[in-house]
A and B are shown apart, each in its own frame.
Chain A
């Protein structure tokens, strides 16, 4: 399927008057990690739609859309085929790269940044791109510091955008394993990770990995939130 064709839908959310419920999320992400800008673009194969949300100002997003950069932008097209986050310094300086970043520079946007590719279970793909005004050395330090949390944030943004589609939401109701439910149930009962490890005869890191997976599946930022949601969904009993 030609993703570039579907990218035509991207500019829909760039219309400034349109209320963007995800912009707040990106602004929070930007502030939390000390970044310059945060942008998300993703493709939902179930609905055949492409979604874009950005913290850039309207002038740049309108220019970006009018120039059709979403068809050629290597931080979108190339980077999201990676498994690991792609620092933009890795991207080759092709004509497309230069076209996008020459204009971006005129709008005060740097080419210091990275894209985190996200893949969902139904062929849904997305990418969270972030930019920074720091020097390469400082950027390297910041990157190492935030990359793990940024990975989680990227997957959360992607899941939330995809879940906004009702059909997708129906398909992706949280599928927790017996082990994950068991550990959430013990957590609801007030047991610590160490306690649960002892009860189930597994390492506390194995407990932690199952909790992390449960948080992802329930789109929860904390374990407490995950327990709350699991109770609300009737997956576990209230302690």
Chain B
């Protein structure tokens, strides 16, 4: 599930933000060897201080497994500045309906192979779907994304082949980087969804995350399938017993989180 975090709601998710910066340090610093600044195990740059929008992928336990960052191309962004080598010193694209996407990454250590819910492939596609859908919802029709050649190959085999590139491939450390163009259309989103067999809404509302975080102690016993069945009953009781809208929202959110667990359990058994 994907949570969208920006300047308006980031104060509610300090823990998720830190986890995201740690994931970026592991991926861009340790694994890819990009020339990035890491402090206290977290990778941040000046663009993180410019109120970007993030799409953050969370697993069923609420841990960060993927993330990506979006900025408007009308304002300061990476291609205009630190990635200018890709553009050969040329001015970048500038349009209100083109966003720049950077720091796309997935936790390959925590996630497995194959195409199941806890695979690298699933997390990657879920995040791609979310980025395209969020952009489309905002009236943005194209994304220019700074990626490495491996990510370029991943895009191509997930039904998300770039329709073009700007500039040239340039060295960013151990690996080169390039700027690919993606249209935010139904067709592209449908191709990725079909490839990954993801047909549900990939977004989770911030209220649901907050409610689920509050309910974590109660959710922990959900280990064996027998207890999961007990919890299903517990959820129903909690929903019925809710006195306020907030309580009811929290109970519903818990049910949804646990429902995802049933799903993943079934998927693993299958």
Residues of A within 8 A of B (CB): 78-79, 81-86, 90-91, 117-121, 123, 125, 147-152, 154-156, 175-179, 202-203, 205-206, 209-210, 212-213, 215-217
- Judge whether B76 and A121 touch: CB under 8 Å: yes
Cβ of A161 to closest chain B Cβ, rounded Å: 14
Q: Which residue of A lies closest to B81 (CB)?
A: A121
- Judge whether B51 and A148 touch: CB under 8 Å: no
Q: Which residue of B lies closest to A177 (CB)?
A: B90
Cβ of B249 to closest chain A Cβ, rounded Å: 15
- Judge whether B164 and A202 touch: CB under 8 Å: yes
Give Cα A34 to B92, complex, Å. Answer: 33
Q: Cβ of B96 < 8 Å from any Cβ of A?
A: yes
Given contacts A152-B97, A178-B90, A205-B163, contact A84 B6 (CB under 8 A): yes
Given contacts A202-B164, A213-B95, contact A81 B51 (CB under 8 A): yes
- Judge whether B94 and A216 touch: CB under 8 Å: yes
Give Cα A212 to B163, complex, Å. Answer: 16
- Tally of contacts, chain A with chain B, CB under 8 A: 115
- Judge whether A119 and B76 touch: CB under 8 Å: yes
Give Cα A68 to B97, complex, Å. Answer: 33
Q: Cβ of B107 < 8 Å from any Cβ of A?
A: no
| Size bracket of the B interface | 35 or more
Cβ of A228 to closest chain B Cβ, rounded Å: 19
Pairs across A and B, CB under 8 Å, 29 listed: A79-B8, A83-B72, A83-B138, A85-B138, A86-B8, A119-B74, A119-B76, A120-B74, A151-B138, A155-B74, A177-B87, A177-B90, A177-B91, A177-B93, A178-B90, A179-B90, A179-B166, A202-B164, A205-B142, A205-B164, A206-B164, A206-B165, A206-B166, A209-B142, A209-B181, A212-B95, A213-B95, A215-B95, A217-B94
Give Cα A86 to B9, complex, Å. Answer: 12
- Judge whether B99 and A83 touch: CB under 8 Å: yes
Q: Cβ of B7 < 8 Å from any Cβ of A?
A: yes
| Residues of chain B with a CB closer than 8 A to A175's CB | 91
- Judge whether A148 and B97 touch: CB under 8 Å: yes
Q: Cβ of B33 < 8 Å from any Cβ of A?
A: no
Give Cα A148 to B97, complex, Å. Answer: 7
| Residues of chain A with a CB closer than 8 A to B112's CB | none
Q: Which residue of A lies closest to B51 (CB)?
A: A81
Cβ of A16 to closest chain B Cβ, rounded Å: 31
Give Cα A133 to B51, complex, Å. Answer: 31
Cβ contacts B67-78/A at 8 Å (1 or 0 each): 000111111100
